[in-house]
Amino acid sequence: MKRQRIAVDGLEDDDDQTVPTPLIAEEPLRGPAPAPVAHAPIDDSQMRLKYTYGINAWKQWVAAKNEELEGSTGRSGTTAGQRPKLFKAEILQCSADELSVALSLFVREVRKPTGQAYAADSVYYLCLGKFFFCFQ
Domain assignment present for 111: yes
Residue 102 included in any domain = yes
Please report the pLDDT score of residue 64 as a whole number: 92
Q: Could you give the residue ranges of the DSSP H alpha helices within the chain?
A: 51-75, 96-109, 120-135
Give the whole-angstrom CA distance, residue 103 versus residue 74.
25
* Residue 126 belongs to some domain of the structure: yes
Q: Report the domain count for the chain.
A: 1
Q: Which residues, 6+ apart, have CB-to-CB distance to 32 below 8 Å?
A: none
- C-alpha pair distances (Å), 11 with each of 5, 15, 18, 21, 23: 11, 12, 12, 5, 7
Amino acid 21: pLDDT: 45
Structural domain harbouring 122: 51-71+87-135
Biggest alpha carbon distance in the chain?
66
Note whether residue 107 is domain-resident: yes
CB 102 within 8 A of CB 87: yes
Q: Is residue 92 part of a domain?
A: yes
Domain membership of residue 62 (yes or no) is: yes
* CA–CA distance, 100 with 94 (Å, rounded to integer): 9
3-class SS at 111?
strand
CB atoms within 10 A of CB 131: 15
- Phi/psi at 61 (5° precision): -65, -45
Q: Is 55 inside any structural domain? A: yes
Predicted confidence pLDDT, tens digits, the chain (136 residues): 554 444 444 444 444 444 444 444 444 455 555 555 555 566 767 777 788 888 999 999 999 999 998 887 666 555 556 778 899 989 889 899 999 999 999 999 999 889 899 999 999 989 988 888 888 7
Secondary structure string (H, E, C) spanning 95-107: CHHHHHHHHHHHH
- The 8-class DSSP code of residue 91 comes to G
Q: Is residue 38 part of a domain?
A: no
User: Are 107 and 127 a contacting pair, CB within 8 Å?
Assistant: yes
